[in-house]
């Protein structure tokens, strides 16, 4: 019954992408929170999260425990789906087509092909346009973002260093993306299509997507910040730098003394994201937030301990 | 005589705000009137900004988030006054339709705050998760001839529908305008049976109006089709008594 209700057969490819990218557009200005249980998902929903990311361990615990990090147990994802009415996202390993098939069959709302999990393929990402379910992927620069969009990603997040509570890498990468976009605009203005082609070769991006980016003056899909957001001020900073919204991973539940404390943190970050230009609202949000996760300084991490570098 | 510009706001707590502003700007070029009227289009985040508006769009987004953020910003009561006391023209798309309903089903545990204004009950996420989101052509006769000849490519994303029109008397203060159904979506099978002369099946109500309150389940702002925005701006102009 449910299947014949949906006229997917009249949809063109173009329509499919409109639907995939459209959900991301509806999440703009919002906060997507990492949750590991149905109870945490309810805290996120009550706090005003626009979506939750279901995963077995928050990134700071993945970092601490080591080992191979994989797609979450489907049973745990189903528990979270039953608990909330907002969209539920879940992570698959980079290049792991079958984990993506499982998540699609689970009917999650978005798949994050994520460097926070241990990559399954050291050469290729998933061909995301082959799936009906939409994907979000990370990037450190414009070339990486446009490679993911070319593969079919309908949403991008600029990578930070997940699980650290240190915002520096997230700032570095959104600045890089912004600088790359400025360069593309300048190239189009000065040298037209030839200059765009040359720049596309240099950064490893699709020519048509790069031209579209230059014309729009922004990424052609929604772009959230992710990784290292630990306080309301961090979330507001990422909005200030031009992100469309934020993912908060460990920042809500790590080192929270009680569920009430986590709920306060979650509410505070939602408020700061919605009102990132309002100083008074940011004061109130910072007070409500209370003590943040302790965190790990990015400067003290060895290169092999960094997750943001995963992705090709 | 030149009138004061008509101030149209888009509630900018979260969601597809820029998309509506872009289509409103395009659509306004198609509005002609006797008195050469002008429009301004602005984002609305605070009660003072709302007070400046003659009309308002509630965009798509997550209705739970919008309700929570609106409540924390002290916007819910000003919004209810705007819609139900001042009767200024409003249009809600998707999450905005949910906010404008008097009742909502399939809400989060414990329910959610609504603005109201439409005597209807909406059913959230009628079609399921994002995997069941879709685009469909709709015949919208309120758009006039163009609505008949050229179906509107309606984008449904985790969309709600109007599952019930609450008849007068069931809701306090429901006297006045009646709820008009302006758009119905029929799935392929239903549509085929209708075309073969079968009995008209009800289908899903996806566009409604009651007085100055208009709601759609789908997202015209995710297309380049300005027809509904043009139509709505004309409704706004008429409601405000311009151009007559």
**B107, pLDDT greater than 70:** yes
For A36-49, write each residue's pLDDT tens digit: 999 999 999 999 99
Q: Is A163 marked within a binding site?
A: yes
Q: Which residues make beta-bridge pairs with B183?
A: B207
Decide if pLDDT at A273 tops 50.
Answer: yes
Mean pLDDT of B40-68: 96
- The answer on pLDDT for B32 being more than 80 is no
Q: Please write the tens of the pLDDT for every residue from B157-186.
A: 999 999 999 976 555 554 568 999 999 999
A29 touches chain B (CB under 8 A): yes
**B2 and B36 Cβ atoms separated by less than 8 Å:** yes
- At A3, is the pLDDT very low, low, confident or very high (cuts 50, 70, 90)? very low
Relative to beta strand A246-248, strand A31-35 is parallel
Tell me if B188 and A47 make a contact (CB, 8 A cut-off).
Answer: no
Taking an 8 Å cut-off on Cβ atoms, the answer to whether A26 and B62 are in contact is: yes
Q: Decide: B108 and A45 in contact? Cβ < 8 Å.
A: yes
Q: Are A117 and A70 in contact (CB under 8 A)?
A: yes
pLDDT score of B201? 61
Residue B18: partners with Cβ closer than 8 Å, 6 or more residues away = none
Which one is predicted more confidently, A66 or A115?
A: A115
Q: What 3-state DSSP class applies to B34?
A: coil
Q: Which residues of B are catalytic?
A: 94, 219, 221
User: Is A50 in Cβ contact with B65 (below 8 Å)?
Assistant: yes
Looking at beta carbons, which residues of chain B come within 8 Å of A108? 129-130
Q: What are phi and psi of A204, to 5 degrees?
A: 70, 45
∠ CA A28-A30-A32 to the nearest 5 degrees? 110
Q: What percent of chain B has pLDDT over 90?
A: 77
Q: List C-alpha distances in Å: A192 to A184, A187, A211, A217, B48.
A: 10, 7, 9, 15, 45
Predicted pLDDT of residue B146:
73
- Cβ neighbours of B45 in A, within 8 Å: 274-275
Distance from CA of B132 to the nearest CA of A (A): 7
Nearest CA in chain A to B158: A23
| Binary contact (A85, B125; C-beta < 8 A) | yes
Q: Look at residue B34 and tell me whether its pLDDT is greater than 70.
A: no
Higher pLDDT, A13 or A7: A13
B130–A110 CB contact, under 8 Å = yes
Kindly tell me if the per-residue pLDDT of A226 is higher than 90. yes
Reported as half-sphere exposure (CB side, CA atoms, 13 A), residue A105 has a value of 8
Is A175 annotated for ligand binding?
Answer: yes
Assess whether pLDDT exceeds 80 at residue A72.
Answer: yes
Cβ of A10 under 8 Å from any chain B Cβ? yes
State whether residue A246 sits within 8 Å of chain B by CB: no
Q: Rounded mean pLDDT of chain A?
A: 92
Average pLDDT over residues B99-127: 94
Residue B200 has pLDDT above 80, yes or no: no
Residue A158 CA to residue A137 CA, distance in Å, equals 8
Q: Do the Cβ atoms of A22 and B155 come within 8 Å?
A: yes
The pLDDT score that the predictor gives to residue A249 is 87
More confident: A298 or A186? A186
Closest chain B residue to A22, measured at CA = B222
Query: How far is Cα B131 from Cα B220, in angstroms, rounded to an integer?
Result: 20
For residue B213, count other CB atoms closer than 10 A to its CB: 26
- Tokens in use for A181? 């976009």
A20–chain B nearest CA distance, Å? 8
Choose from B17, B18, B68, B223 for mutation: most chain A CBs within 10 A. Answer: B68
| pLDDT tens track for A20-37 | 999 999 999 999 999 999
Kindly report the backbone phi and psi dihedral angles of residue A90, in degrees, each rounded to the nearest multiple of 5, phi listed first: -150, 155
Q: Which pLDDT score, from 0 to 100, does residue A162 have? A: 87
CATH class for domain B6-239?
A: alpha beta
| Chain pair A-B, CB pairs under 8 angstroms | 144
Of A49, A50, A48, A102, the C-alpha closest to A77 is A102
Phi, psi at residue A159, to the nearest 5°?
A: -75, 140
3-state secondary structure A161-226: CCCCCCCHHHHHHHHHHHHHHHHHHHHHHHHHHHHHHHHHHHHCCCHHHHHHHHHHCCCCCEEEEE
Are the C-beta atoms of A92 and A54 separated by less than 8 Å?
no
| Any B CB within 8 A of A216 CB | no
């Amino acid at each position: 019954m449910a299947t014949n209700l949906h006229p997917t057969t009249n949809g063109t490819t173009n329509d499919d992408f409109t639907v995939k990218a459209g959900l991301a557009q509806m999440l703009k200005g919002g906060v997507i929170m990492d949750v590991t249980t149905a109870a945490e998902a309810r805290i996120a929903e009550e706090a005003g999260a626009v979506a939750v990311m279901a995963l077995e361990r928050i990134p700071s615990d993945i970092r601490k425990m080591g080992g191979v990090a994989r797609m979450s147990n489907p049973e745990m994802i189903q528990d979270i789906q039953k608990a909330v009415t907002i969209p539920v996202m879940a992570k698959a390993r980079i290049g792991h087509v079958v984990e993506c098939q499982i998540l699609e069959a689970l009917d999650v709302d978005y798949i994050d092909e994520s460097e926070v999990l241990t990559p399954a393929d050291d050469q290729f990402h998933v061909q995301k346009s082959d799936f009906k379910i939409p994907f979000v992927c990370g990037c450190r620069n414009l070339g990486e973002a446009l490679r993911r969009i070319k593969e079919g990603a309908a949403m991008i997040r600029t990578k930070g260093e997940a699980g650290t509570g240190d915002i520096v890498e997230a700032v570095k990468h959104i600045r890089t993306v912004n600088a790359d976009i400025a360069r593309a605009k300048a190239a189009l203005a000065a040298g037209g299509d030839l200059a765009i082609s040359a720049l596309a070769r240099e950064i490893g991006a699709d020519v048509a997507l790069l031209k579209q980016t230059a014309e729009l003056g922004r990424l052609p899909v929604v772009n959230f910040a992710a990784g290292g957001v630990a306080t309301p001020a961090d979330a507001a900073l990422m909005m200030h730098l031009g992100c469309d919204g934020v993912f908060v991973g460990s920042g809500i539940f790590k080192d929270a003394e009680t569920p009430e404390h986590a709920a306060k943190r979650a509410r505070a970050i939602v408020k700061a994201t919605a009102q990132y230009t309002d100083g008074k609202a940011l004061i109130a949000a910072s007070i409500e937030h209370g003590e943040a996760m302790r965190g790990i300084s990015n400067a003290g991490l060895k290169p092999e301990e960094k997750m943001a570098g995963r992705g090709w | 005589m030149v009138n004061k510009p008509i101030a149209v706001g888009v509630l900018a707590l979260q969601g597809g705000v820029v998309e509506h502003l872009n289509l409103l700007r395009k659509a306004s070029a198609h509005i002609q009137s006797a008195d050469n009227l002008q429009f301004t289009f602005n984002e609305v985040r605070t009660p003072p900004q709302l007070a400046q508006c003659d009309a308002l769009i509630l965009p798509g987004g997550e209705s739970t988030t919008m309700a929570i953020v609106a409540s924390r910003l002290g916007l819910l009561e000003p919004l209810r006054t705007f819609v139900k006391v001042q009767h200024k023209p409003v249009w809600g798309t998707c999450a905005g339709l949910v906010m404008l309903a008097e009742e909502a089903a399939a809400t989060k545990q414990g329910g959610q705050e609504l603005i109201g204004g439409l005597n209807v009950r909406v059913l959230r996420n009628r079609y399921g998760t994002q995997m069941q989101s879709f685009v469909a052509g709709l015949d919208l006769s309120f758009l006039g001839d163009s609505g008949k000849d050229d179906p509107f490519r309606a984008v449904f994303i985790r969309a709600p529908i109007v599952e019930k029109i609450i008849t007068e008397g069931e809701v306090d203060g429901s006297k006045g305008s009646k709820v008009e159904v302006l758009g119905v979506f029929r799935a392929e099978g239903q549509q085929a049976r209708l075309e073969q002369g079968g009995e008209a099946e009800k289908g899903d109500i996806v566009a409604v109006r009651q007085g100055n309150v208009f709601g759609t389940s789908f997202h015209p702002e995710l297309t380049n089709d300005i027809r509904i925005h043009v139509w709505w701006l004309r409704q706004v102009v008429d409601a405000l008594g311009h151009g007559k």
